[in-house]
Amino acid sequence: MSKDDKIIHEVAGSEYKYGWVSNIEEDTLAPGLSEETVHFISAKKNEPEWLLEWRLKAYRQWLKMTPPSWQNLKIPPIDFQSISYYSAPKPKKKLDSLDEVDPELLATFEKLGISLEEQKRLTGVAVDAVIDSVSVTTTFKEKLGELGVIFCSMSEAVREHPELVRKYLGRVVPPTDNFYAALNSAVFSDGSFAYIPKGVRCPMELSTYFRINAAGTGQFERTLIVAEEGSYVSYLEGCTAPQRDENQLHAAVVELIALDDAEIKYSTVQNWYPGDKDGVGGVYNFVTKRGICEGRRSKISWTQVETGSAITWKYPSCILKGDDSIGEFYSVALTRNRQQADTGTKMIHIGKNTRSRIISKGISAGQSQNSYRGLVSINKGAENARNYSQCDSLLLGDQCGAHTFPYLDCSNPTAQIEHEATTSKIGEDVLFYCRQRGMDEEEATALIINGFSREVLKKLPMEFAVEAQKLLAISLEGSVG
Amino acid sequence: MALLEINNLHASIDGNEILKGINLKVEKGEIHAIMGPNGSGKSTLASIIAGREEYEVTKGSVLFEGKDLLDLAPEERAREGVFLAFQYPVEIPGVSTANFIKASVNEIRKHRGEEPLDAASMMRLMKEKLALVEMDKSFLSRSVNEGFSGGEKKRNEIFQMAVMQPKLAVLDETDSGLDIDALKIVANGVNKLHNEENAFLVITHYQRLLDYIVPDKVHVLLNGRIVKSGGKELALDLEARGYDWIKEELEAGAPQNS
Ligand SMILES: Nc1ncnc2c1ncn2[C@@H]1O[C@H](COP(=O)(O)OP(=O)(O)OP(=O)(O)O)[C@@H](O)[C@H]1O
Ligand SMILES: [Mg+2]
């Protein structure tokens, strides 16, 4: 092996830094999926009858569906009967403050460098921490309450704001949308709900840190964000998972709804356990994320930094229904070892003068496969729609793959569509330049990769961008400082 | 002990011998100029000193403060105090000059067992050195060399040199592409940095630079060998007469050191 190959090998093969298992008491349902399971979950959460019916309908649909197979992924068959569909940390009593939270949980967050206390004090971020399936703690609720902003767990929303949930749940991602969305609709355990009333600019970033924490437990989050007329919200989602050998299925659904002049910014840093060097273990991340720009001049912006998961199947999309609405997708996906990612977006232009922008940066190392898949669809009535797409791939080594699958479906001749794509390797001369200035190859590589991703990283809120930058470096470094 | 000592250095690339027995000794406090026609091996020599891996050293040695330089990785050489101002500085998209320099400075500090510089001190250091090469601080937030003019790239090299304070700086045609004002600025920067503890190896085609940076010695590199060495007057001779007379002298078997 040449020296460069060796470095790339080391860089690509670094151990997962966040691999540990915490010992929070679990309350876990035995594996298996049937109508009974759906009844159990719904009952456990004291749900109203309509929601149980909604779930059952989704379940019956799901039975008739098959997993999608068009993506550029090799997915081993999943035995849905071997998965446990409910798991909750047992709160000893109702929690009023962080002091009452399981110290083990707090320690877990500290290991991630995202101590809730610090977050609260320093950044003014309201954190709704989700461990496994049930929200453990919600902060800043009162302050948000004064403005009429609702930010709570989905279970709580179902209890406290049933009319809103009933109105919007499944509106953007119907239960029958696809195999995994149907599964999620049947068994979703918890998630987040945010509602921003008319004209309110949410003063702080709403943030949820997800963790998968129970062996053999699938996690089915459901997130719903509604931004009323003229409102604004920035939402952060981040996650890591402990190392283990069994594959863990994650099939989340996220729905965003932006009314007239509203803006939703949704940022994700995803770092689930990717499996070991040989691809054993790791999370399967099959997510349906979609937003609708329902109102005129509304805007939805997805930003994602994806470094984790064994398999990623994810296409945060925008339906641009309102005239003059804007959809954006900024993505960095880094794959290494035997990770597979098939990710991208769909921009569906329906309204007039709608605009969309797609910036995708794929970084592949090791023997990983990294695909961008994007659809730009211009409907008949979408006069003067505009799209700009740019997909750049960076390869580290020669055993990995980068693929780009842009689809275009244009039914209106006034549309202006631009697509640019590049594939490159890190140049020897750039590496040498950095090394001549005292950086070793790993550090140089991390620096160059951060530069490559900058257009996307700068779209993240400040603190998140710093974390994401570290994450990219950590994911690539052989040794972690 | 010489700061840099090169003995009978032979190097090839893809089986072609480019350096054919270089001998060179640079003491602390000295400035040496290397001149020579295109393709004679000047950049190759600079690259080998800095540690570029595609060149194969087939014979000879390079000692830096008595230690074998060829044993060290490029980054280790840099941390030990070897700096190369590139003939063609590369662009690094998305990486701000400030971030780049921060990473570089902190690596060197780590090597010396020093703590990383805090943000304010780092900023102070950069601003001070920017002033030395009369560059605007807006360069700090721009991506490394991206969209820089030819002259700005060269000045950026000297700026980095000023920040890193190397013991040995090799300047590979830092003067080419500079207008006369920029040339003075660069030369002035070098002169300010020059002291009894460091040394400069200045590769250039033009005597002009040597009006401002006055060398202790001038060497002529021809076809992979140093064929003539002299004082600063040698540069004037070369300027006036070109290289042919040296080639003729060589053929006639004249002594190689004047
Ligand atoms: N990477 C390389 N691959 C092939 N040949 C090379 C390489 N690097 C240098 N050479 C060859 O070695 C010889 C010396 O090149 P070098 O760049 O050292 O010359 P130089 O003296 O710096 O010239 P100039 O004044 O034009 O900068 C040239 O013939 C060049 O083509
Ligand atoms: Mg040269």
Other beta carbons within 10 Å of A215: 15
Q: Ligand 1 pocket, B43 CB below 6 A?
A: yes
Q: What share of chain B is helix, strand, coil (3-state, %, to 5)?
A: 40, 30, 30
Mutate to test the pocket of ligand 1, among B14, B40, B48 (most ligand atoms within 8 A of CB): B40
Compute the average pLDDT of residues A296-304. Answer: 97
Distance from CA of A428 to the nearest CA of B (A): 10
| CATH, residue B8 | 3.40.50.300
Q: How far apart are CA A330 and CA A459, in angstroms?
A: 8
Distance from CA of A432 to the nearest CA of B (A): 7
Q: Which residue has the higher pLDDT, A29 or B143?
A: B143
**Within a domain: B86:** yes
pLDDT(A243) > 90: no
Other beta carbons within 10 Å of A329: 26
Residue A430: which of B78, B90, B104 has the nearest Cβ?
B90
Assigned token pair, A194: 């945010």
Amino acid at residue number B5 = E
∠ CA(B209), CA(B210), CA(B214), 5° rounding?
Answer: 135
Amino acid at residue number B256 = Q
Contacts of A378 (CB under 8 A, 6+ apart): A349, A385, A387, A409, A410, A411, A412, A415, A417
pLDDT(B200) > 50: yes
% of chain A at pLDDT higher than 90: 49
Amino acid at residue number A401 = G
Compute the average pLDDT of residues A64-77. Answer: 85
pLDDT(A45) > 80: yes
Highest mean predicted confidence (pLDDT) among A66-80, A228-242, A451-465, B197-211: B197-211
**Within a domain: B141:** yes
Q: Which residue has the higher pLDDT, A468 or A437?
A: A437
Q: In DSSP terms, which residues pair with B12 in a beta bridge?
A: B17, B56
Q: How far apart are CA B209 and CA B197, in angstroms?
A: 22
pLDDT of residue A465: 81
Q: Which residue has the higher pLDDT, A12 or B159?
A: B159
- Measured from the Cα of B173, ligand 1's closest atom is 27
pLDDT of residue A115: 52
Q: For A48-57, A238-247, B119-128, B174-183, which range has the lowest pLDDT when averaged over its residues?
A: A238-247
Q: Does residue B13 sit at the A interface (CB-CB below 8 Å)?
A: no
**Within a domain: B257:** no
Owner of token pair 């400040």: A462
Q: Are strands B217-222 and B31-35 parallel, antiparallel or unpaired?
A: parallel
Q: Does residue A437 sit at the B interface (CB-CB below 8 Å)?
A: yes
Q: How far apart are CA A462 and CA A447, in angstroms?
A: 18
pLDDT of residue A152: 85
- Ligand 1 centre and the CA of B41: distance in Å? 6
Residue B78: which of A435, A441, A451 has the nearest Cβ?
A435
pLDDT of residue A208: 67
If pLDDT is split at 50, 70 and 90, which confidence band does A467 have? confident
Amino acid at residue number B45 = L
Residue-by-residue DSSP string for B51-111: T-TTSEEEEEEEEETTEEGGGS-HHHHHHHTEEEE-SSPPPEEEEEHHHHHHHHHHHHHHH
Residue A451: which of B52, B84, B93 has the nearest Cβ?
B93
pLDDT of residue B238: 87
With contact defined as beta carbons under 8 Å apart, do A106 and A127 qualify? Answer: no
pLDDT of residue A159: 93
pLDDT(A250) > 70: yes
DSSP H or E segment with residue A427: none
pLDDT digits (tens, 9 = 90+) for B12-27: 999 999 999 999 999 9
pLDDT of residue A140: 63
Distance from CA of B102 to the nearest CA of A (A): 10
Q: Ligand 1 pocket, B44 CB below 6 A?
A: yes
Contacts of A53 (CB under 8 A, 6+ apart): none
CA-to-CA dists, residue A478 to A11, A20, A48, A474, B140, angstroms: 5, 18, 51, 8, 29
If pLDDT is split at 50, 70 and 90, which confidence band does A471 have? confident
Q: Does residue B52 sit at the A interface (CB-CB below 8 Å)?
A: yes
- Measured from the Cα of B40, ligand 1's closest atom is 21
Amino acid at residue number A30 = A
Residue B190 backbone dihedrals phi, psi, to 5 degrees: -60, -45
pLDDT of residue A89: 53
**Within a domain: B40:** yes
DSSP H or E segment with residue A92: none
Task: Tell me if B99 and A436 make a contact (CB, 8 A cut-off).
Answer: no
Owner of token pair 């280790």: B76
With contact defined as beta carbons under 8 Å apart, do A282 and A312 qualify? Answer: no
Task: Tell me if B107 and A443 make a contact (CB, 8 A cut-off).
Answer: yes
- Measured from the Cα of B37, ligand 1's closest atom is 25
Question: Strand, helix or coil at A220?
Answer: coil
Size of interface A-B (CB pairs under 8 A): 78
Assigned token pair, B90: 């590369």
pLDDT(A5) > 60: no
Exposed / middle / buried, residue B255 (Cβ in 10 Å: 0-12, 13-18, 19+): exposed
Q: Ligand 1 pocket, B33 CB below 6 A?
A: no
With contact defined as beta carbons under 8 Å apart, do B78 and A436 qualify? Answer: yes
Q: How far apart are CA A56 and CA A39, in angstroms?
A: 8
DSSP state letter for A108: H
pLDDT(A18) > 70: no
Assigned token pair, A369: 């496969």
pLDDT of residue A240: 45
* B 91-130 residues inside an 8 A Cβ radius of A: 92-95, 99-100, 103-104, 107-108, 111
Task: Tell me if B78 and A450 make a contact (CB, 8 A cut-off).
Answer: no
Owner of token pair 């690094």: B92
Distance from CA of B181 to the nearest CA of A (A): 27
Question: Strand, helix or coil at A331?
Answer: strand
* Domain boundary assignment for chain A: 26-426
If pLDDT is split at 50, 70 and 90, which confidence band does A106 have? low
Residue B93: which of A440, A441, A452 has the nearest Cβ?
A452
In chain A the first and final C-alpha atoms are separated, in Å, by 26
Determine the length of chain A: 481
pLDDT of residue B141: 92
CA-to-CA dists, residue A114 to A106, A126, A208, A238, B75, angstroms: 9, 12, 11, 10, 33
DSSP state letter for A201: B
Q: Ligand 1 pocket, B46 CB below 6 A?
A: no
Q: How far apart are CA A167 and CA A177, in angstroms?
A: 18
Task: Tell me if A450 and B108 make a contact (CB, 8 A cut-off).
Answer: no
Exposed / middle / buried, residue A277 (Cβ in 10 Å: 0-12, 13-18, 19+): middle
pLDDT(A77) > 90: no
Q: Are strands A340-349 and A311-314 parallel, antiparallel or unpaired?
A: parallel
- Measured from the Cα of B18, ligand 1's closest atom is 12
Question: Please, what is the average pLDDT of chain A?
Answer: 81
pLDDT digits (tens, 9 = 90+) for A370-411: 999 999 999 999 999 999 999 999 998 888 889 999 999 999
Tell me the HSE value of B175 on the side-chain side, using a 13 A CA sphere. Answer: 21
Closest residue, chain A, to B142 (C-alpha): A451
Distance from CA of A444 to the nearest CA of B (A): 9
pLDDT of residue A88: 65
Q: How far apart are CA B55 and CA B78, in angstroms?
A: 18
Residues of chain B in contact with residue A436, where contact means CB-CB under 8 angstroms, are 50-51, 74-75, 77-78, 83-84, 86
Q: In DSSP terms, which residues pair with A390 in a beta bridge?
A: A359, A420
Q: Ligand 1 pocket, B13 CB below 6 A?
A: yes
Residue B75: which of A427, A438, A448 has the nearest Cβ?
A438
Q: What number of H helices and E strands is found in chain A?
A: 13, 23
pLDDT of residue A11: 39
If pLDDT is split at 50, 70 and 90, which confidence band does A135 have? very low
Other beta carbons within 10 Å of A322: 25
Task: Tell me if B92 and A451 make a contact (CB, 8 A cut-off).
Answer: yes
Residues of chain B in contact with residue A435, where contact means CB-CB under 8 angstroms, are 51, 73-75, 78
List, in sequence order, the alpha helices (H) in A87-176: 103-111, 116-118, 141-146, 154-160, 162-168
pLDDT(A473) > 60: yes
- Whether this model's pTM surpasses 0.90: no
Task: Tell me if A439 and B107 make a contact (CB, 8 A cut-off).
Answer: yes
Q: For A157-161, A266-270, B162-166, which range has the lowest pLDDT when averaged over its residues?
A: A266-270
Mutate to test the pocket of ligand 1, among B38, B87, B171 (most ligand atoms within 8 A of CB): B38
Distance from CA of A110 to the nearest CA of B (A): 24
pLDDT(B114) > 50: yes
pLDDT of residue A21: 47
**Within a domain: B165:** yes
Q: How far apart are CA A134 and CA B206, in angstroms?
A: 74
Closest residue, chain B, to A433 (C-alpha): B90
Q: Ligand 1 pocket, B38 CB below 6 A?
A: yes
- Ligand 1 centre and the CA of A402: distance in Å? 34
pLDDT digits (tens, 9 = 90+) for A168-217: 999 999 998 999 999 999 999 888 899 999 999 998 888 765 434 444 44
Q: Does residue A5 sit at the B interface (CB-CB below 8 Å)?
A: no
Which range marks the domain in which residue B114 is found? 4-251
If pLDDT is split at 50, 70 and 90, which confidence band does A19 have? very low
Mutate to test the pocket of ligand 1, among B42, B88, B201 (most ligand atoms within 8 A of CB): B42
Q: How many domains does chain B have?
A: 1
Task: Tell me if B74 and A435 make a contact (CB, 8 A cut-off).
Answer: yes
Q: How far apart are CA A162 and CA A150, in angstroms?
A: 13
Owner of token pair 């020059």: B194
With contact defined as beta carbons under 8 Å apart, do A139 and A218 qualify? Answer: no
- Going by alpha carbons, the residue nearest to atom 27 of ligand 1 is B38
Q: For A81-90, A97-106, A202-211, which range has the lowest pLDDT when averaged over its residues?
A: A97-106
**Within a domain: B9:** yes
Task: Tell me if B74 and A432 make a contact (CB, 8 A cut-off).
Answer: yes
DSSP H or E segment with residue A100: none
- Ligand 2 centre and the CA of B206: distance in Å? 13
**Within a domain: B256:** no
pLDDT of residue A134: 44
Closest to B193 in 3D by CA, of B218, B220, B221, B171: B171
pLDDT(A427) > 80: yes
Distance from CA of A3 to the nearest CA of B (A): 10
In chain B the first and final C-alpha atoms are separated, in Å, by 24
Closest to A264 in 3D by CA, of A296, A213, A230, A239: A230
